[in-house]
Structure 1
Amino acid sequence: MNASELNNFIVILIYGSLVLLSLLKLANPLQVNKKANLWFGIFLFLWSTFWLDEVLSLITHHSIEVNSILWVGFIQFLTPIVFYFSVLFYTNPTFRFKISHLRVLILPVIFLTILLLIKAGYHQLHYVIISLILFQALFYSGLSYFTIRKHQRKIQQFAANTEGINLNWLEYIILIILIVSILYVIYNLAYNANSLNFFINMIFLSVIYFVAYNSMKQKEIYPVEEKQREELISISNSETEEIKRKLISDEDLLRIKTQLEKLMEAQKPYLDSELNLIKLSKELSVSTHHLSYVINTGFRKNFFQYINEYRIDYAKKLLKDNSNNKLSILGIAYESGFNSKTSFNTTFKKFTDQTPSEFKNSSDL
């Protein structure tokens, strides 16, 4: 098999994988993140069309340029927008479309107008099309990236273990695709991009398998029960406002704060790896909004920081205690309330500037 045949095989794998993954996301067999998976499935299908020319050319043994068809080019232009809406629904399942969101159609309308002008003979506008495609990709990739980063801060208001709901995999995809796309466009403008196709396609195939693995194991980010979901979203969205706005009296704040400290010392709820704001508020018989306010205002921390400080302190004791040498690092992670070694290592490093192994070794000296 020569380089050209290998590249053709990779193209077929890319197209087939994207179409199959798109169908799986649209079918959503696990019935999680329903609206987000619907939009993500549409995004994957649109993404697959970028290899449609090559696939059809291989099947018919003739050069076919489906992507040059006006309506196909227009639909492909919508790909970054569809991806952005999938991110919005992942980070906020209660998101609703408003009339103001119609502004996302401004660039597509401009793009369609220029496409029609090119069809009418204004071929000098070809570079304007390339510029619009690049701008659209950069703009919505950036918007999606910052939406995910904001989400990662928000979920720390109600979750102590954020692994599996922090959408890191989407963040990595944005960065990889963005870098590869920019390199490809630059290379396409300056050189013959055919020599780069094999390398680019190999990267995209790897990214697609990475997407498949992570998207299929993505669990529900917010509780399925609507009331709880809306409550948590409202808490995470009003983080700064609630610190400034006085929700309860100073006496009630001190009372709940004292109750919380006693509960943490006596019952150690932080050792529950599934602990979240809802569970803890039920233990204290207070509302989630009031508990969030007490943690934010009374301790000047978010829920993630507050709970994981207790977990790290508990883990330190286990690491220092020689009688616990029979426990591995993973065992200590589970004993301390973490649900994975990766989460334990990352959080421990964040709080102590050391990995658990480094801390244990320094304690043994």
Structure 2
Amino acid sequence: MDKLSFLNGIAWIAVFVSMLLAFFLFTVKTQNKLANRLFAFFFILSAIDLSGFFFYEFIDGQFDLEVFRWTTCLLGMPLFYLFVLAVCYSDFRLQWKHLWHLFPFLAVNLIFVPRFYLAGEVEKIQFFRIHNQMPEMLIFRSIVEFQYVYYIVGVFLILKKYKKLYLENYANTGFSTYMWLFQMATVFLIAHIIVVLKTLLRYTDLNETFLWANVLVGSIALLITCWFIMKALNHPELFRGINSKLKLTKDILPEGEIKSETANSQNGVISAQIETLRQYMTEKEPYLDPSLTIQELANQINIPVRDLSVLINHHIDQHFFDFVNEYRIQKAMSILKNPSKKELTVLEILYEVGFNSKSSFNTSFKKYTNLTPTAYRNS
């Protein structure tokens, strides 16, 4: 089997797997249908892009269709960007303003109109023969790269804000949404860098290397798609988002209060609130609920959620996530040192104190005690 046949085989498999994953996302039962549909369309576009390795076998002179297929790659990153928003924020909805994400796709197709779409068949054949040197193609590829940088930076900024909001308002120790999306964005970034390096070979005399680079890119695309399928099967609900109307503590503090942190922390009212909060955490143990949020805690102790957020994240100077987990770890330490509960396994203890992940429990425990739970029990 030569390199082209091998590449075609990989491309066929990758297209099939991408369409299979898209079908799964369209049909799986979940509350976050918008995120699933956006991700499904993303994989349909990926399948269209990967079909370029064998698409030429079927079009037979349909040059317009091939160029249009090229330009569909400009819809991929906007879909991924909107998908990330839909996963991170449970109240995210598509609006008319989101149509502006179509602008690069429409603009590039307009660029091809004068000298390609409206040209005769002979001119189109000539265009294809030297398309790598055509200014339209250079403009197209430049727009693709600028667009990719814009959206990948946008995705990482969304995740950065999401992480801060999550830590300040939630205590669920799984933290799976952020990790999953961050891994996905990182994989896309690495894959795109490889594609860019492969494309640069097109403008050199290394034709043999270019073919092998195509094989590598096709193989990577197949592996990434299979990885997504494994993730989707393990997490069919595609995670729970947070409320986009949440604000970071630094955004709700009165101007000037940040600069007077030491003075405010001495305030008698604030000190009394902190004492009341700590007493409630010790006596009522709300942290045993693995899905505890700052909103729920605020309702329990009858403090406005805005004030509680400032109290914990600003005056106590801890993220809500760390504040709650500290009580969970202290509870776990007391159980581990209790001779009457020595029959309890570490797994049973972590669930008892409000954790829902062994890796999260071990990480938090070691951060707090510099020991693993087992080592602490035996010390």
SS of the equivalent of 1:69 reads: helix
Unmatched 5+ residue regions in structure 2? 120-126, 128-132, 258-266
CA distance in 2 between partners of 1:337 and 1:2 (Å): 57
Counterpart in the other structure of 1:226: none
Counterpart in the other structure of 2:350: 333
Q: Equivalent of 2:372, from 339, 356, 361?
A: 356
Counterpart in the other structure of 1:294: 311
CA distance in 2 between partners of 1:73 and 1:203 (Å): 20
- What's the C-alpha RMSD, in Å, of the aligned pairs? 3.4
Do residues 159 (structure 1) and 175 (structure 2) align?
no
Against the structure 1 CA distance between its residues 101 and 12, is the aligned structure 2 distance closer, same or farther, given a 3 Å change threshold?
closer
CA distance in 1 between partners of 2:109 and 2:377 (Å): 66
The farther-off stretch of 78-87 and 126-135 is: 126-135
CA distance in 2 between partners of 1:13 and 1:166 (Å): 28
Q: Equivalent of 1:240, from 226, 233, 250?
A: 250
**Structure 1 residues 16-31: aligned runs within 5 Å:** 16-30=16-30
Deviations 1:312-339 (A, max 9, x none): 2223334455665544332332232110
The farther-off stretch of 148-157 and 281-290 is: 281-290
CA distance in 2 between partners of 1:40 and 1:288 (Å): 34
Counterpart in the other structure of 1:221: 240
**Structure 1 residues 99-178: aligned runs within 5 Å:** 104-116=101-113, 119=116, 123-178=134-189
Do residues 76 (structure 1) and 73 (structure 2) align?
yes
SS of the equivalent of 1:244 reads: coil
SS of the equivalent of 2:157 reads: helix
Against the structure 1 CA distance between its residues 312 and 115, is the aligned structure 2 distance closer, same or farther, given a 3 Å change threshold?
farther
Deviations 1:63-82 (A, max 9, x none): 78889634333332111111
What amino acid maps onto 2:50 in structure 1?
Answer: W
What is the total number of aligned residue pairs between the two structures?
349
Identity between Structure 1 and Structure 2 (%): 24
Contact 1:54 1:64 (8 Å CA) reproduced:
no
The farther-off stretch of 312-321 and 71-80 is: 312-321
- Which structure is larger by alpha-carbon Rg, 1 or 2? 2
The farther-off stretch of 96-105 and 123-132 is: 96-105
Instruction: Work out which structure has the larger RCO, using CA pairs closer than 8 Å and 6 or more positions apart in sequence.
Output: 2
CA distance in 2 between partners of 1:110 and 1:268 (Å): 58
Deviation at 1:304, TM superposition (A): 0.5
CA distance in 1 between partners of 2:16 and 2:354 (Å): 41
Counterpart in the other structure of 2:33: 34
Counterpart in the other structure of 1:185: 196
Do residues 314 (structure 1) and 324 (structure 2) align?
no
What amino acid maps onto 2:24 in structure 1?
Answer: L
Counterpart in the other structure of 2:50: 51
Deviation at 1:203, TM superposition (A): 2.2
Against the structure 1 CA distance between its residues 67 and 28, is the aligned structure 2 distance closer, same or farther, given a 3 Å change threshold?
farther
Contact 1:53 1:67 (8 Å CA) reproduced:
no
CA distance in 2 between partners of 1:220 and 1:170 (Å): 10
CA distance in 1 between partners of 2:165 and 2:342 (Å): 37
Contact 1:155 1:162 (8 Å CA) reproduced:
no
| TM-score after normalising by structure 1 | 0.80
Against the structure 1 CA distance between its residues 79 and 355, is the aligned structure 2 distance closer, same or farther, given a 3 Å change threshold?
farther
Contact 1:39 1:82 (8 Å CA) reproduced:
yes
Counterpart in the other structure of 2:224: 207
CA distance in 1 between partners of 2:46 and 2:313 (Å): 42
Contact 1:52 1:66 (8 Å CA) reproduced:
no
Contact 1:243 1:296 (8 Å CA) reproduced:
no
CA distance in 1 between partners of 2:115 and 2:183 (Å): 36
CA distance in 2 between partners of 1:137 and 1:317 (Å): 51
Deviations 1:281-320 (A, max 9, x none): 2322334333323322442222111101111222333445
Against the structure 1 CA distance between its residues 57 and 322, is the aligned structure 2 distance closer, same or farther, given a 3 Å change threshold?
farther
Deviations 1:327-362 (A, max 9, x none): 43323322321101122123334445x4525xx436
